[in-house]
Structure 1
Amino acid sequence: MTLDDLRVFAAVCRAGSLSAVARDLSCTQSAVSQHVKRLERELGVSLIERHPRGVVPTQAGRLLRTAVADGLGGIDQAVRRIGELADGAGGSVRITTGSTSIRHFMSAAVVDFRRCFPQVSLEFQTETSNRSCFDALAAGRVDLAWITLGSPVRGIEQRAVAELPWVLAVADGDPLAARDAIEPADLQDARLIGLPQNSASRSQLDSWLAEYGIRPVFDTSVADWDTAILLAQLGLGHAIVPALPDWQAPGRRGLRLIPVPALPVLTAGWAVRHWDTLTPPARAFADTVARHCARGPAGT
């Protein structure tokens, strides 16, 4: 078996389609299939099952997929780091995060980092869930992932950076706007603007509210925290969101953010494959973001 065989097999598992991988690699579907068949001949087992709507890995295929993701990600990262050492001070740092995290957590750090490392490029990729961030790390497509921290994940190291208390966002004229704090019981009949179902923040919020026996109605769904805040400011509902510094600015007229102190804080931070294998620029960028977060109102 070759590294190309393993790379193609991993791509087939991610895409669930031979034809999709063939399009991505600008080759024929038969060529993609040959890579998988070589691995199956070498191992003596079937690695994928063909279904009308695509392919899925077998039990043996899932074992190989996990090993390939770990192994190839490490190899790609090492080769890239060696290349950057050969090039000198240049290179790049690849970061994956949600669509609004750069503005809320990294804007000042990006300026600071650029001043210190003018030859290093920053490459940002948007993902929609922790799971997709972890997949990108395992595959070696990114160096750093900014995530909502949760349970440990095999092969991933997580580091907390910012603790974010929960607040209820309401318009100024709302009956709840005069409250100094909100208790979970106050949310029992509330119609809330929901965070994305696949997001770690929504999952943690649902779990914490359930501990209080609260099952609020989410009659509006949005893709990010900023949109939830905007709809609440317009009087279209209430939103339970993490308190971020940008939203506390004086220019946020018409909006009230009321603490919900009973809910545990949400923790955001970095996820990497291995801290000790990061390139010096990647480590410097992670540290720069952490340093700026620690200075702000929402920092730890």
Structure 2
Amino acid sequence: MTLDDLRVFVAVCRAGSLSAVARDLACTQSAVSQHVKRLEREIGASLLERQPRGVVPTAAGRILCEAAADGITGLDLALRRLGDLVNGRSGSVRVTTGGTTVRHFMAEAIVRFRRRYPKVSLEFQTGTSSRVCFDALLSSDLDLAWITIADSVRGIEQRPVVDLPWVLAARADDPLASRSHIDVSDLTDIPLVRLPPDSSSGGVLDEAFAELGVRAGFDTSVADWDTALLLTELGLGHAVVPAVPGRPTSAENSPLRLVPIPALPPLTVGWAVRRWDALPPLARAFADTVARDCVKKLG
């Protein structure tokens, strides 16, 4: 039984697929299977149950997966701390987040962090949704995920940072642009640029619309908030988006106006980690820097 065997087995349990793990590791499915078979021989029990659409851990597999995942997390922390000890304050911070998050939530914090820790490597992995970020955090050596705060996720600890109010983006010449705020009744049947329904923010917005009885008409869909604003500027409709830090709600020379929608519950965003008490010091410092920056901008 080797550490590689355990890492691969945990990855298979989380992915539910031998072939998916093989692709991630750039190896053959047979090589992944050999790691699992080696564990099964040593333990003397079957660890995976084959199903038509993948694999699931057996009772013995679940016990081993949970124990191995905890052990690997602790070992990764120890190895990172040893590296920092050997190299002074050098090391790395690995973050997964959405495509536009770095620009809106982290840009200034990254500059300050780099000035304070010039030898530290910052690595960013883009995820298309919070769900994808959760999966990446669980299946790799990433430190942090910036996500829309969601319901409890097994193996993940979430820490809210800021609440983002929703705004309606409208062209400056649109009648709604001169309003001080938007009522939910104003949203019924106007053309809206749709946020991805499989994204966390899009799902939160859809739920809020349903609870408030908003019958929104969606003519166009996009992959992120910035694209929604661009399409609004081009005249393809209106967009309901979060008011992110540093983006003014109105500017005299801007082609767009961002009008508050007070009735919509805010979108809560923040950090997710496997275990806060196991987070390397450099990653914690980066998380704190970003959080302070966001709170200051929205405070």
Q: Return the TM-score normalized by structure 1.
A: 0.88
Q: CA deviation at 1:165?
A: 0.7
User: Which string of whole-angstrom CA distances, capped at 9 and with x for unpartnered residues, describes residues 181-240 of structure 1?
Assistant: 111122221221111122111111111111112232322111111000111111111111
**Number of the residue aligned with 2:222:** 222
Letter in 2 for 1:205: L
Distance 1:276 1:256 in 2: 43
Q: Is the CA contact (8 Å cut-off) linking 1:95 and 1:124 kept in structure 2?
A: yes
How do 1:5-16 and structure 2 match up within 5 A?
5-13=5-13
Distance 1:35 1:131 in 2: 27
Q: 3-state DSSP class of the match of 2:247? A: helix
- Gap runs ≥5 in structure 1: none
Letter in 2 for 1:261: P
Quickly say closer, same or farther: Cα 1:251–1:70, change in 2 above 3 A.
farther
Q: CA deviation at 1:21?
A: 4.1
**Number of the residue aligned with 2:287:** 286
User: Which string of whole-angstrom CA distances, capped at 9 and with x for unpartnered residues, describes residues 139-178 of structure 1?
Assistant: 3421111111122333322222222110011112223223
Letter in 2 for 1:187: L
**Number of the residue aligned with 1:203:** 203
Distance 1:202 1:26 in 2: 33
Q: CA RMSD in A?
A: 2.5
Quickly say closer, same or farther: Cα 1:200–1:171, change in 2 above 3 A.
same
**Number of the residue aligned with 2:143:** 143
Identify which range, 154-163 or 84-93, moves more after superposition: 154-163
Letter in 2 for 1:37: K
Q: 3-state DSSP class of the match of 1:206? A: helix
**Number of the residue aligned with 2:190:** 190
Identify which range, 139-148 or 249-258, moves more after superposition: 249-258
How do 1:117-266 and structure 2 match up within 5 A?
117-244=117-244, 245-248=246-249, 250=251, 253-266=254-267
Q: CA deviation at 1:32?
A: 2.4
- Gap runs ≥5 in structure 2: none
Letter in 1 for 2:96: T
Q: CA deviation at 1:25?
A: 4.3
Q: Return the TM-score normalized by structure 2.
A: 0.88
Distance 2:70 2:218 in 1: 38
Letter in 2 for 1:262: A
Q: CA deviation at 1:73?
A: 3.3
Q: Is the CA contact (8 Å cut-off) linking 1:113 and 1:288 kept in structure 2?
A: yes
Q: Is it true that 1:55 corresponds to 2:54 in the alignment?
A: yes
Quickly say closer, same or farther: Cα 1:22–1:290, change in 2 above 3 A.
closer
Q: 3-state DSSP class of the match of 1:267? A: strand
Distance 2:195 2:56 in 1: 32
Q: Is the CA contact (8 Å cut-off) linking 2:90 and 2:120 kept in structure 1?
A: yes
Q: 3-state DSSP class of the match of 1:246? A: coil
Distance 1:252 1:70 in 2: 54
Q: Is the CA contact (8 Å cut-off) linking 1:74 and 1:140 kept in structure 2?
A: no
Q: CA deviation at 1:137?
A: 2.4
Q: Is the CA contact (8 Å cut-off) linking 2:249 and 2:257 kept in structure 1?
A: no
Q: Is the CA contact (8 Å cut-off) linking 1:96 and 1:145 kept in structure 2?
A: yes
Letter in 2 for 1:127: G
